[in-house]
C-alpha cells in the first residue's frame, strides 16, 4: 500500500515539525517503509508503504 502522508509539507515551518511528523508515522506503522523525497535540500514528500498480512485460514478436506 502506497500512501502519501496527508499533510501539506509546505505548512510545516521547520525541520523539527517535519521530524515530528515522521516520528508519528513511524509510531503508527507495523510493517512497511517510509520514503522521504527531497528537492533542493527541502523535504517535499513523505510516502508510507505499509504491508498488511492476512492470516491463513485452515481449509477442511
* Domain extent listing, the chain: 2-50
pLDDT for 46 beyond 60: yes
> HSE-up of 9 (CA within 13 Å, CB side)?
18
Q: pLDDT above 90 covers what percent of the chain?
A: 33
pLDDT for 34 beyond 90: yes
Quote the CA–CA distance of 42 and 3 in Å, as a whole number: 20
Q: pLDDT above 70 covers what percent of the chain?
A: 75
Quote the CA–CA distance of 37 and 57 in Å, as a whole number: 39
13 falls in which pLDDT band (50, 70, 90)?
A: low
Q: What is the mean pLDDT of residues 28-32?
A: 91
Give the per-residue pLDDT at 6.
55
Amino acid at each position: 500500500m502506497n500512501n502519501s502522508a496527508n499533510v501539506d509539507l509546505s505548512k510545516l515551518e521547520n525541520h523539527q515539525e517535519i521530524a515530528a511528523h515522521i516520528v508519528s508515522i513511524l509510531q503508527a506503522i507495523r510493517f512497511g517503509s517510509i520514503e522521504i523525497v527531497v528537492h533542493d535540500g527541502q523535504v517535499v514528500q513523505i510516502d508510507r508503504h505499509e504491508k498488511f498480512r492476512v492470516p491463513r485460514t485452515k481449509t477442511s478436506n
